[in-house]
Amino acid sequence: MTGLTRRTMLQLSAAAGLARLFTGPAQAQAPDGLKLGPAESFSYEWLKRHARELAAQPYDAPPRPDPEIVQRIDYDAHGKLDYRMNYALFPESAYPISFQHVGMYFPKTVQMHKLTGSGDAREVLYDPGYFDVGPDHVASDLPEKPSAFAGFWVHQPRSEGPLSEVEPWATFLGGCYFRGIGESGQIGMSARGVALDPGGSGAEEFPDFRAFWFEPAASEAEPVTVYALLDGPSVTGAYKFLLHRNEGVVMDIEANLHLRKKVERLGLAPLTSMYWFSETRKETMTDWRPEVHDSDGLYMWTGNGERIWRPLNNPDRISISSFQDRNPRGFGLMQRDREFDNYLDGVRYHRRPSSWVEPLHDWGPGVVQLVEIPTDDEIHDNINAIWIPDGDHGAGTEYHLNYKLYWMDDCPYPSDLARCVATRLGHGGQAGRANPKDKRKFVVEFKGGPLEDLPKGTIPEPVLTASRGSFSNQRTEAVPNDVPGHWRTMFDLTIDGADPIELRCYLRTDDQVLTETWLYQYHPLAEEA
> Mean pLDDT, to the nearest integer, of 424-433?
83
**Which amino acid is it at 174?**
G
Buried residues in 300-317 as b, exposed as e (16+ CB within 10 A): bbbbeebbbbbbbbbbee
Q: Is 80 exceeded by the pLDDT of residue 202? A: no
Can you say how many angstroms the Cα of residue 336 is from the centroid of all Cα atoms in its chain?
16
pLDDT at 48: 98
Q: Is 60 exceeded by the pLDDT of residue 5? A: no
> Mean pLDDT, to the nearest integer, of 223-238?
98
Cβ contacts of 272 within 8 Å, gap of 6 or more: 1, 2, 177, 189, 190, 191, 192, 195, 381, 383, 384
> Mean pLDDT, to the nearest integer, of 438-444?
94
Q: In a 3-state reduction of DSSP, which class is residue 135?
A: coil
Give the span between the Cα atoms of 259 and 518, in whole angstroms.
36
Mean pLDDT is lowest, of 132-141, 350-359, 511-520, for 132-141
**Which domains, ranges and CATH numbers included, belong to the chain?**
28-408 (2.70.98.10), 419-522 (2.60.40.10)
pLDDT in tens, 249-294: 999 999 999 999 999 999 999 999 999 999 998 777 889 999 999 9
pLDDT at 3: 38
pLDDT at 10: 27
pLDDT in tens, 100-128: 999 999 999 999 999 987 789 999 999 99
Mean pLDDT is lowest, of 217-221, 276-280, 429-433, for 429-433
pLDDT at 4: 38
> Binning pLDDT at 50, 70 and 90, where does residue 29 land?
low
Bridge partners (DSSP) listed for residue 509: 512
Q: Which residue has the higher pLDDT, 489 or 136?
A: 489
Q: Is 50 exceeded by the pLDDT of residue 181? A: yes
Q: Is 80 exceeded by the pLDDT of residue 7? A: no
pLDDT at 26: 40
Residue-averaged pLDDT of the chain: 90
Nearest residue to 180 (alpha-carbon basis) of 257, 110, 95, 115 = 95
CB 174 within 8 A of CB 10: yes
Q: Is 60 exceeded by the pLDDT of residue 296? A: yes
